[in-house]
Amino acid sequence: MYAVEDGDVLGVIADLFGVTIDALVEANDLPDETSIAVGQLLIIPGVTATPRPSLGPTTTSNANLLGMHLIMPIAGACLTPSDDQMPNAPREYRSGIHEGVDFFTSYACVDVPKGLPELAVADGTIIRADRDYRALTQAQIEQLQAESAAQGFTSAGTLDKFRGRQVWIDHENGIVTRYSHLDGIPREVQVGVEVKQGDIVGYVGDSGTPGSATNPDFEIHLHFEIRVGDTFLGAGLDPAETRAVYEAVFGITPAAAP
């Protein structure tokens, strides 16, 4: 992946990574070789090693990806070091994949206990707030898992139930953030309400998790998703690419190699 910078042209980017212009046009479904914009994230096909030095100073500004500045949804948290808690990780218990980032105690650089406030990562409008959520029973959980196993994938409806109590925020331009497994929602968080970056929009819980009925409070964490259009940010990328995308989104400078 490469974020287009001011002054970039496709031919120079192609030379930088040792690929052809046509390959870049095809991989990114571009109308032509001039159709790139500053901040656009380009797929570089066939590149698995570290590329040659950048064309210019690099940036970790998350405006490169989403056009907005995002903060962490948990105050003081870091991005989990575990690829299993990142998007695209397999979820065998429901024959599906993970579509967001998990924030667990011992992985998020801060404690993430039940009831911890969750923060709006950017300004937006509440478009979903499950105030009347009813917890799944063990029988319902087992039935949903069996259905997923039988069909070989997790349907959208089943996945929605496994997310538990949720809050969704619309940030415009097709970008929506989702907060899942909530224990509760502030009274003022209602559909149609505008929130500011840093506002409390929910409280950490374990609603909808596989053990929520038989072993409550064991899987306490925030499952956080960034949706772009009709899919999740980073869909289809390998673990290293996925991590790079989310580091950029949150403005994280990757650790230097030893």
pLDDT of residue 89: 93
3-state secondary structure of 170: strand
pLDDT tens for each residue of 44-87: 887 654 443 333 333 334 444 677 789 999 999 999 999 999 99
- Would you say the C-alpha torsion 207, 160, 107, 97 has a positive or negative sign? positive
* Radius of gyration in angstroms for the set of CA atoms belonging to the chain, rounded to a whole number: 20
pLDDT of residue 39: 66
Measured distance CA(94)–CA(145) in Å, rounded: 5
- Would you say the C-alpha torsion 145, 79, 64, 62 has a positive or negative sign? positive
Measured distance CA(121)–CA(61) in Å, rounded: 15
Q: Check if the beta carbon of residue 4 is closer than 8 Å to that of residue 36.
A: yes
Instruction: Tell me the mean pLDDT in the region 218-241.
Output: 92
Q: Check if the beta carbon of residue 29 is closer than 8 Å to that of residue 40.
A: no
Measured distance CA(78)–CA(210) in Å, rounded: 25
Query: Encoding tokens for residue 248?
Result: 């950029």
pLDDT tens for each residue of 109-147: 999 999 999 999 999 999 999 999 999 999 999 999 999
Amino acid of residue 66: L
Measured distance CA(220)–CA(182) in Å, rounded: 9
**What's the pTM?**
0.74
Q: Check if the beta carbon of residue 162 is closer than 8 Å to that of residue 148.
A: no
3-state secondary structure of 86: coil
Measured distance CA(188)–CA(185) in Å, rounded: 8
pLDDT tens for each residue of 157-203: 999 999 999 999 999 988 999 999 999 999 999 999 999 999 999 99
pLDDT of residue 44: 86
Instruction: Tell me the mean pLDDT in the region 203-223.
Output: 95
